[in-house]
Amino acid sequence: MRGNERDVVIIGGGHNGLVCAFYLARAGLRVTLLERRAVVGGAAVTEEFHPGFRNSTASYTVSLLQPKIIADLKLYEHGLRIVERRMANFLPLPDGRYLAVGEGRTKEQVAKFSARDAGRLDSYHQRLGAVSDLVRELMLETPPHMTGPGLLASLPELFKAGKLARRLGALDLAAQRDLLALLGRSAGDYLDDWFESDPIKAVYGFDGIVGNYASPYMAGSGYVLLHHLLGEVNGKRGAWGHAIGGMGAITQAMAKACAAQGVEVRLAAPVREVLVEKGRASGVVCENGETVRARAIISNLNPKLLFDKLVDPAVLPEDFRARMASYRMGSGTFRMNVALSELPRFACLAQAGDHLTAGIIIAPSLGYMDRAYHTARDKGWSENPVVEMLIPSTLDDTLAPQGAHVSSLFCQHVAPVLPDGASWNDHREEVADRMIATVDNYAPGFAASIIARQVFTPLDLERVFGLTSGDIMHGRLELDQLFAARPVLGHGNYRMPVPGLYLCGAGSHPGGGVTGAPGHNAAREVLKDLGR
């Protein structure tokens, strides 16, 4: 290597780009990371949205971040602190009742609605736990690549596939059947088999529609439910927690880990093009015209954005191009941050308490979620939308002035693209008002307590974060876009069809969420190819 030439250029400084950069630099490679925005972190950032009020701008709660990555990058030593919610979930109901879910209280709470359901909770968790343990083990592995040329090249992949088959075989038959059901069926069908009362099905079923523009009764939502159970907080499996300082605290700690390994991070440095010479990715051209050359080019962008905008279609195999054209994106997400003069008071539980630290789900039943989805397909959004609300300032006093609060509204089931040619630019405020009114129905006075708000329609998520169609997962988590087929069968091992070009973002295995796993796995494959 001579002069300013780099070993690796990473396009995009989302958390996966940072994780990938860290591992490569730790192995001794010269790494340059180019981020379009003025801040690293991608969808995992904390920003001030009103004077004195900061919040996780997009992604807002932590669970999936891999313990190995936390340890390798020494994120705690770089200042990260993750705390548990004092209650996992809170579901206010229109009839004035509520369901509180969390350690030590779920059974008693579910019994208010169904003694039978309360009695089934332990075996539900035990059975789901067996399946999620297996899938969790695969997160830091590269899926088998069974399309290599010749038997010799295929041997390691056959071994990998064999290992996977052995793991599956080690599950008891009930767990194998559960896995099949979750992969093939809907979250709603799965939960209907277990429970009879609506509230517990709504709390658990919400995981099946998070970032998933689909009815909970659509096939595929079973896997999305499972995906949201693959994490942990401080060793508690399936739990969700809060990073003190917001999600940006995670990526700022990652940036420090990168700096300690000598990664060169350039901000406000958008890349215009991946340079391909003699059939190989050899560098990138930045918007300012500068060319940065390297032996490996790694993209943290969602695959559609990468191949639509940065790679010359002429260098791609025709079938790959066609598959990417039909790669499915669009998570139906509408995201708001609000500054509050006071804490909300829920009609069903007015006094402040642990429930204000919970993921507060406004969607009382699976049927409600199903209707919200179908209405959105028809009209763009529903008058009765699904809203998850968090008030992170109840756990973290660094986000708002004393006595005031910030809240994240994570709203599901708006159309990624509005019907009949309508534009999100014309409906942003109207839909934001609807989301606030929905919360206000359950917590009267909420609307009046709002000092300021920040609103992201799917179009805004695309503009600000580069999330095509506002897809928070970099592509739908559906069977033909998962594991060895993420983003496309034959490229599940992070290697793209142009030699020297790799994917390290959530559009590769194991998909979306703040996991760090795609970045970790991609780095391992790049190191192999560069002979490290």
Contact letters for ligand FAD, residues 288-307 (x by CB under 6 A): ------------xx------
From residue 204 to residue 233, the character string flagging contacts with ligand FAD as x (rule: CB under 6 A) and all else as - is ------------------------------
Compare residues 101 and 311 and give the one whose CB is closer to ligand FAD: 311
- Residue count at the site for ligand FAD (CB under 6 A)? 38
Q: Which is nearer to ligand FAD, 13 or 92 (CB)?
A: 13
Q: How far is CA 436 from CA 46, 337, 405, 440, in A?
A: 22, 11, 16, 6
Cβ proximity of 494 and 508 under 8 Å = yes
For residue 60, the one-letter residue type is: Y
Q: Does position 442 bind ligand FAD by CB under 6 A? A: no
Q: Which one, 284 or 316, has the nearer CB to ligand FAD?
A: 284
Provide the minimum distance between the beta carbon of 53 and ligand FAD in the complex, in angstroms, as a whole number: 18
Q: Which is nearer to ligand FAD, 58 or 139 (CB)?
A: 58
Q: How far is the CB of 296 from ligand FAD (least distance, A)?
A: 16
| CA–CA distance, 60 with 409 (Å, rounded to integer) | 9
Say if residues 60 and 408 touch (Cβ distance below 8 Å): yes
14 near ligand FAD, rule: CB under 6 A: yes
Would you give the end-to-end CA distance of the chain in angstroms?
15
Residue 415 · residue 377 · CB < 8 Å: yes
Please tell me the distance from the alpha carbon of residue 481 to that of residue 353, in angstroms, as a whole number: 41
- CA–CA separation, 490 vs 107, rounded Å? 45
Q: Are 100 and 203 in contact (CB under 8 A)?
A: no
The binder of ligand FAD chosen from 335, 355, 371, 509 (CB under 6 A): 335
Which of 301, 329, 336, 375 has its CA nearest to residue 470?
329
Q: Are 31 and 8 in contact (CB under 8 A)?
A: yes
- Of 524, 497, 485, 474, the closest CA to residue 145 belongs to 485
3-state helix, strand, coil in the chain (%, to 5): 40, 20, 40
Judged by CB under 6 A, the residue of 102, 283, 466, 492 near ligand FAD is 466
- Binding-residue pattern over the window 357 to 396 for ligand FAD, x denoting contact by CB under 6 A: ----------------------------------------
Q: Which of 32, 59, 212, 521 binds ligand FAD (CB under 6 A)?
A: 59
**Should residue 473 be labelled a site residue for ligand FAD when binding is judged by CB under 6 A?**
yes
In terms of CB distance, is 216 or 475 closer to ligand FAD? 475
Residues at the interface with ligand FAD (CB under 6 A): 11-17, 34-37, 42-44, 58-61, 64, 270-271, 300-301, 333, 335, 410, 461, 465-467, 472-474, 505-506, 512-514
